[in-house]
Amino acid sequence: MSTATADLHEAPAESGVNYLNASYGIRSWLLTFDHKRIGLLYLASITVMFLVGGVAAVLMRIHLIEPQGALFEPETYNKLFSTHGIIMVFFFLVPSIPATLGNFLIPLMIGARDVAFPKLNLMSWYIFITGAALALYATISGGVDTGWTFYPPYSSHYSATNVTIVALGVFVAGFSSILTGLNFIVTIHKMRAPGMTWFRLPLFIWAMYATSLIFVLGTPVIAITLFLLGLERILHVGIFDPAVGGDPLLFQHLFWFYSHPAVYIMILPGMGVVSELVTAFSRKKIFGYSFVAFSSLSIAVISFIVWGHHMFVTGQSIYAGLVFSVLSFLVAIPSAVKVFNWTATLYRGSISYEAPMLYALGFIGLFTIGGLTGLFLASLATDVHLNGTYFIVAHFHYVMVGGAVMAYLGGIHFWWPKISGRMYPDLWARIAAAIIFLGFNLTFFPQFMLGYLGMPRRYAVYPAEFQVLNVLSSAGASILGIGYVIPLVYLIWSMRYGPVAGPNPWKAKGLEWTIPSPPPTENFEEIPIVTEDAYNYPVADAHSYPDAPEVARV
Amino acid sequence: MTGLIQSGFDTFAAMIPLQPPAASTTAEGIDHLYQVLSGITAFFTVLIFSIIFVFMIKYRRRSDAQKSAATHTPLIVELTWTIIPSLICAVLFVWSAALYVQNGRPPASSTEVFVIGKQWMWHLQHTEGPREINELHVPVGVPIKLTMTSQDVIHDFYIPAFRVKKDVLPGRFTSLWFQPTEVGTYHLFCAQYCGTNHSEMIGWIYVMTPTDYAAWLAGGEKTESLAQQGERLFTQFGCNSCHTGEEGAKAPALAGLYGKPQRMANGETRVVDESLIQQAIYVPSSVHLPNYQAIMPTYQGQIDSDQMTKLVAYVKSISSEERNGK
Amino acid sequence: MAAHGAHPPGFAHQFETVEQQREAGTLGMWTFLVTEILFFGGMFTSYIIYRSLHLHSFIQGSHELIVRYGATNTAVLIFSSLTMALAIRTAQTGKSKGQIIFWLLLTMILGATFIAIKLRFEWYRDYVEGLIPGVSWLDGGTHTPGVKMFMCFYFFMTGLHALHMVVGLGILTVLVIMTARNRFSAEYYAPLEISGLYWHFVDIVWIFLFPLLYLIGGRYPGS
């Protein structure tokens, strides 16, 4: 029964029992140790959080159609943008790809039966749910109006809203991240199948490993920072209060020490997904594998030493500004290297345009814009003018939404047949991807312009001269919203009515495509022995490469 | 070449506003950098999009059996597209840093204005005496230095037309400077979220011709200068009972102290600036000079930001007088 | 694949071998301790910054603490690390479960002693003397705002540490129960080893806390 070398193209025969139907009932889901089910528990939870944060965004954009505000008093608007930021950052973007696709795929991709600590994995989900419940409770019972950045003294002494409860919710959810990151690090180090050396790993794994390093090193710092803020609020002591010798800027340093690497937590997994999508849909080995792998690691490392670029106008010393500026330029280089490598992978590929590929290509384009606008902010002289304006808002939405969310959707679509055993309707998926792309650009490009014109962010009312650009942005947001709802509908539809997908509908390389869709609970009947590099697609021989379209040798 | 790009931008800007008025000496420099950054962004965006577009068409899969070519990764290619972006970034960093350092130094001849930010308004005080709320009248062509503090939370003083911005913090002073180049009226915004009416903490900067400005100065209520008001507070709060200025006094003499480095009791040396003066008044135990007992009481809660500004102005004035030999 | 009978109790089936499980457990605990270093690190960083800005107040505040209690506690914790290591050694050399439990219980007693000294002789006294910011703070005299800042750090840091000690006592309780149920042997004692890492870490944090909080500015005449 044992095979010395598993044939990676052959999948075991279908037996009908998979991780979805191996046991029934709510208890079997809520008490599962199976990483695949846990991934789906996270998928459901973060979809709910995305909808809450999304509703807040829609309300904000409708309100901003009028210079004097169309819907709300400033107090309510302030609570809306704070809720939008807190929910989207901590309860959607940070867990999104790692907790859903990461949990589902990492053991499959490395040839393991589960993660290193499955019980810890389930506990991580419960911790996340607790944090999310606290945050939602705080929102419903009065809201928070400090912004997701919680700057004191406003948050410690002046805001009369549910700051402590939300901070507690974020604090708790942080431990979910830490434990997930810990689990992934140990899994990737210790549970790779025989023959799966580091340099044969899919680039998604490299990206998840780099992300996990940030989880583990950065998240504890925001935890302690919010803990100190909470203590200051409850006990009225003065860590950040200048009246008793405290320093509000200390909070900012501690906060951004985590929150800058956090944005790389949000983008690195997306980059990992894009590496998988670009190779699968051009059926070609990635260009520059080791460069892409090492750039993930270097982004993770450098991300820890650039936090001061959020504080260029706080009155910090010129020397600090210079150091953080040069390092912030440095962190852009590995990202640029990745963009070039993905593009080069397409060269002489065999490219098809199903929805996941459209999302991946959209990512590359929008991340290029978003990343390059980061240079405007790394650059000291222009940051003085742009900090605190809509330029910043546009920049981070380009990378977070145009980047991370598009990659997330691309990944969900790509691995959907593996997760559910069904195919989704690709025509609708492509239409939705196009609507999202157009809606996104219409929403956020005008915001770059608003920023340079001087419109500050977090404004509930604004001077009338900014109205045209605001209306364009709001129009885009309505289109974007429709675009996001469409996949929700057809993905759920496909779970029941979609055509059955075989083990490898995309004919992609990777251990996850060698097992049935959906996979059995134990993943692999026999742990595979890996003998080839990642993305080892068959190549056309040199003479017959189809520059002439009619040549196609099998 | 840059002139061509410049006029291109100007034409476009006339149709759709791309930037606020450039009304200070530093604005144009920042705009040039911004335009180059925009050009680089546009260049690489178009480059990547075009290459992807071409590859998408040329290498589309025509039949399911169609295979891709082998991937070779020449090191020279990787190095090229690592080194070229690095060089671009290096140039941008140096240019921007130079502008930033240069723009950070107020000319010695700057006229000073004190600013206090509080929820949700700006108090501005000219050294000659006039006080303004949410408005600042200045003469064109004169460098103005703003010395700012907050009475409560963190705010940010932002004048888009001058391309200047600086956070305004409680417990310390920050500063920015500008020299207006065009008469006109320009937005003032608070650019650091500070609570409910953050978006209403806005105002106007009025840049006037020198004659109009002189008329405005003369037309207002006659008030004492900030330093004179500070001198009265110095007596009112009893500061002069210890800071007598005489030999053997319980507290150090303050004349001539401002702007000079001063050694502290714990060995470190700090320059006496506005923030140090404020710290000495609010948290005296943290500003302990050698050879003096640490007996100064704190005035936290007794002296508000308004009064602090005046006391600071007074301490500064007795240093410049000493140096000028008045 | 080895038959199930060959795997000792406690083997988890996501792993292929016992060795793999042991290595994963150890790497997991070291990774967790790194996160704890960063967690305490945020607080230590704030402490360093405020101490350099307000050294005089920190010296004054430090003098409000009683060195002999802190020193005793340091000795107690170091000794408890020894007893913990001996518990592991006892398991490693295949001794009886009674002996393992003896060392584990001794470690717990020492840990409880640490907490008792803190609560009874230090924190209760601070409470009575009005030195606990936000809970029972009395202004005036040596109780300056700067000293209040120091006491904030004192309570936050030792409080967080004590919380970790309590969790450690909980872990030790679980280990005692597991030992009593014959879960460990000379071949399998990984949970003891991993918990030992945690216990030593908590000890090391205290070894940093003690001089940083209790010994600022020295205790010699003239300092």
SS (H, E, C) A470-499: HHHHHHHHHHHHHHHHHHHHHHHHHHHHCC
Q: Is A294 on the interface with B (CB under 8 A)?
A: no
Q: A386 with A392: CB under 8 angstroms?
A: yes
Chain A hits for C45, Cβ within 8 Å: 254
**Probe site for chain A from B93, B134, B149, B178 (most A CB atoms < 10 A):** B93
Binary contact (C42, A254; C-beta < 8 A): yes
Closest-CA residue of chain B to A313: B166
Determine the Cα–Cα distance for residues A59 and A52; give it in Å rounded to an integer.
11
Q: Is the pLDDT at B249 greater than 90, yes or no?
A: no
Can you list the alpha helix ranges (DSSP code H) found in C93-144? Answer: 97-117, 124-129
Can you list the alpha helix ranges (DSSP code H) found in chain B? Answer: 2-15, 27-58, 75-103, 210-219, 226-236, 239-242, 274-282, 305-324
Q: What is the pLDDT of residue A544?
A: 54
CATH number of the domain encompassing residue A523? 1.20.210.10
CB count within 10 Å of CB B91 equals: 13
Pull the structure tokens for residue A441: 């650009």
Contacts of residue B4, defined as CB under 8 A and 6 or more positions apart, other chains included, come to none
Strand, coil or helix: B247: coil
Chain B hits for C54, Cβ within 8 Å: 285-286
Pull the structure tokens for residue C210: 């003690």
Closest residue by Cα to residue C61 from C164, C133, C162: C133
Determine the Cα–Cα distance for residues B146 and B178; give it in Å rounded to an integer.
9
Determine the Cα–Cα distance for residues A358 and A430; give it in Å rounded to an integer.
7
Pull the structure tokens for residue C132: 């606990």
Determine the Cα–Cα distance for residues A523 and A19; give it in Å rounded to an integer.
9
Peptide bond preceding A415 in cis form (omega within 30 of 0): no
Instruction: Categorize the per-residue pLDDT at B247 as very low, low, confident or very high, splitting at 50, 70 and 90.
Output: confident
Chain B hits for C57, Cβ within 8 Å: 285-286
Determine the Cα–Cα distance for residues A346 and B207; give it in Å rounded to an integer.
56
Q: What is the pLDDT of residue A473?
A: 97
Q: Most distant CA pair in chain A: distance in Å?
A: 79
Strand, coil or helix: C143: strand
- The architecture (CATH level 2) of B226-324 comes to Orthogonal Bundle (1.10)
Q: Is C49 on the interface with A (CB under 8 A)?
A: yes
Pull the structure tokens for residue A357: 């590929």
Binary contact (A186, C31; C-beta < 8 A): yes
B84-95 per-position pLDDT tens digit: 999 999 999 999
Determine the Cα–Cα distance for residues A539 and A537; give it in Å rounded to an integer.
6
Is residue A7 a part of any domain in this protein?
Answer: no
Phi and psi, residue B165, nearest 5°: -160, 140
Establish how many alpha carbons lie within 13 A of residue A529's alpha carbon, considering only the half-sphere containing its beta carbon.
5
Residues in chain A: 554
| pLDDT lower than 70: segments of chain A | 1-15, 542-554
Residue span of the structural domain in which C191 resides: 18-214
Q: Is C49 on the interface with B (CB under 8 A)?
A: no
Pick from B265, B266, B285: which is nearest to C146 by CB?
Answer: B285
Determine the Cα–Cα distance for residues A380 and B125; give it in Å rounded to an integer.
29
Chain C hits for A520, Cβ within 8 Å: none
| Four-residue CA torsion sign, A369, A372, A373, A374 | positive
Q: A163 with A82: CB under 8 angstroms?
A: no
Which helix (H) or strand (E) is B263 found in, with range? strand B261-263
Q: Residue B198 gets which letter from DSSP?
A: G
Q: A539 with A546: CB under 8 angstroms?
A: no
Pull the structure tokens for residue A65: 């159609």
Residue B252 burial by CB count (10 A; 0-12/13-18/19+): exposed, middle or buried?
middle
Q: B–C: how many Cβ contacts below 8 A? A: 20
Q: What is the pLDDT of residue C223?
A: 42
Is residue A3 a part of any domain in this protein?
Answer: no
For residue C130, give Cα distances in angstroms to C68, C122, C134, C136, C149.
20, 12, 10, 5, 14
Pull the structure tokens for residue A179: 């434990």
Closest-CA residue of chain A to B99: A381
Closest-CA residue of chain A to B54: A347
Domain boundaries of chain B, sorted by first residue? 7-50+74-103, 111-219, 226-324
Instruction: Categorize the per-residue pLDDT at B4 as very low, low, confident or very high, splitting at 50, 70 and 90.
Output: confident
Query: Comparing B308 with B13, which gets the higher pLDDT?
Result: B308
Q: Residue C144 gets which letter from DSSP?
A: -
Determine the Cα–Cα distance for residues B271 and C18; give it in Å rounded to an integer.
64
Binary contact (A456, B194; C-beta < 8 A): no
Chain C hits for A247, Cβ within 8 Å: 49-50, 53
Radius of gyration in angstroms for the set of CA atoms belonging to chain C, rounded to a whole number: 21
Is residue A550 a part of any domain in this protein?
Answer: no
Query: Which chains does chain A touch, 3 or more C-beta pairs < 8 A?
Result: B, C
Q: Most distant CA pair in chain C: distance in Å?
A: 74
Determine the Cα–Cα distance for residues A252 and A259; give it in Å rounded to an integer.
10
Nearest Cα of chain C lies from the Cα of A57 at a distance, in angstroms, of 33
**Probe site for chain B from A76, A155, A384 (most B CB atoms < 10 A):** A384
Is residue A10 a part of any domain in this protein?
Answer: no
Chain B hits for A321, Cβ within 8 Å: 100
Phi and psi, residue B24, nearest 5°: -135, 170
B127-138 per-position pLDDT tens digit: 888 889 999 999
DSSP per-residue letters across A245-275: T--HHHHHHHHHHHHHHHHHHHHHHHHHHHH
Instruction: Give strand pairing partners of B147.
Output: B114, B175
Chain C hits for B286, Cβ within 8 Å: 53-54, 56-57, 146
Determine the Cα–Cα distance for residues A115 and A61; give it in Å rounded to an integer.
41
Binary contact (A182, C28; C-beta < 8 A): yes
Is residue A8 a part of any domain in this protein?
Answer: no
Chain A hits for B271, Cβ within 8 Å: none
Closest-CA residue of chain C to A243: C145
Determine the Cα–Cα distance for residues C204 and A217; give it in Å rounded to an integer.
19
Residues in chain C: 223
Mean pLDDT of chain B, nearest integer: 88
Q: What is the pLDDT of residue C188?
A: 87
Instruction: Give strand pairing partners of B164.
Output: B159
Residue span of the structural domain in which A505 resides: 29-544
Is residue A21 a part of any domain in this protein?
Answer: no
| Domain count for chain C | 1
Phi and psi, residue B261, nearest 5°: -70, 145
Binary contact (C49, A250; C-beta < 8 A): yes
| Domain count for chain A | 1
Q: What is the pLDDT of residue C116?
A: 96
Is residue A9 a part of any domain in this protein?
Answer: no
| pLDDT lower than 50: segments of chain C | 1-3, 223
| ipTM given for this complex | 0.91
Q: Where are the beta strands (DSSP E) in A328-480?
A: none
Chain A hits for B300, Cβ within 8 Å: 243-244
Query: Which chains does chain C touch, 3 or more C-beta pairs < 8 A?
Result: A, B
Residue B237 burial by CB count (10 A; 0-12/13-18/19+): exposed, middle or buried?
middle
Instruction: Categorize the per-residue pLDDT at B238 as very low, low, confident or very high, splitting at 50, 70 and 90.
Output: confident
Binary contact (A223, C39; C-beta < 8 A): yes
Q: Is C134 on the interface with A (CB under 8 A)?
A: yes
Binary contact (C27, A220; C-beta < 8 A): no
Contacts of residue A105, defined as CB under 8 A and 6 or more positions apart, other chains included, come to A39, A204, A415, A512
Determine the Cα–Cα distance for residues C69 and C209; give it in Å rounded to an integer.
13
Determine the Cα–Cα distance for residues B191 and B201; give it in Å rounded to an integer.
9
Query: Which chains does chain B touch, 3 or more C-beta pairs < 8 A?
Result: A, C
- The architecture (CATH level 2) of B111-219 comes to Sandwich (2.60)
Determine the Cα–Cα distance for residues A393 and A524; give it in Å rounded to an integer.
45
Determine the Cα–Cα distance for residues A362 and A401; give it in Å rounded to an integer.
11
For residue B140, give Cα distances in angstroms to B212, B213, B214, B217.
10, 9, 12, 14
Binary contact (B285, C53; C-beta < 8 A): no
Q: What is the pLDDT of residue B304?
A: 86
> Interior CA angle at A74 toward A69 and A80, to 5°?
90
Instruction: Give strand pairing partners of B150.
Output: B117, B170
The amino acid occupying position C119 is L
Is residue A127 a part of any domain in this protein?
Answer: yes
Determine the Cα–Cα distance for residues A520 and A510; give it in Å rounded to an integer.
17
Pull the structure tokens for residue A188: 């990737």
Pull the structure tokens for residue B282: 């609010």
Q: Where are the beta strands (DSSP E) in chain C?
A: 131-132, 136-137
Determine the Cα–Cα distance for residues A307 and A397; give it in Å rounded to an integer.
18
Closest residue by Cα to residue A382 from B29, C26, C59: B29
Pick from B266, B298, B300: which is nearest to C56 by CB?
Answer: B266
Given phi > 0 = left and psi -120 to 50 = alpha, else beta, which region is B195?
left
Q: What is the pLDDT of residue C2?
A: 44
**Probe site for chain A from B43, B64, B193 (most A CB atoms < 10 A):** B193
Pull the structure tokens for residue B144: 């103005």
Determine the Cα–Cα distance for residues A302 and A305; give it in Å rounded to an integer.
6
Q: A267 with A403: CB under 8 angstroms?
A: yes
CATH number of the domain encompassing residue C168? 1.20.120.80
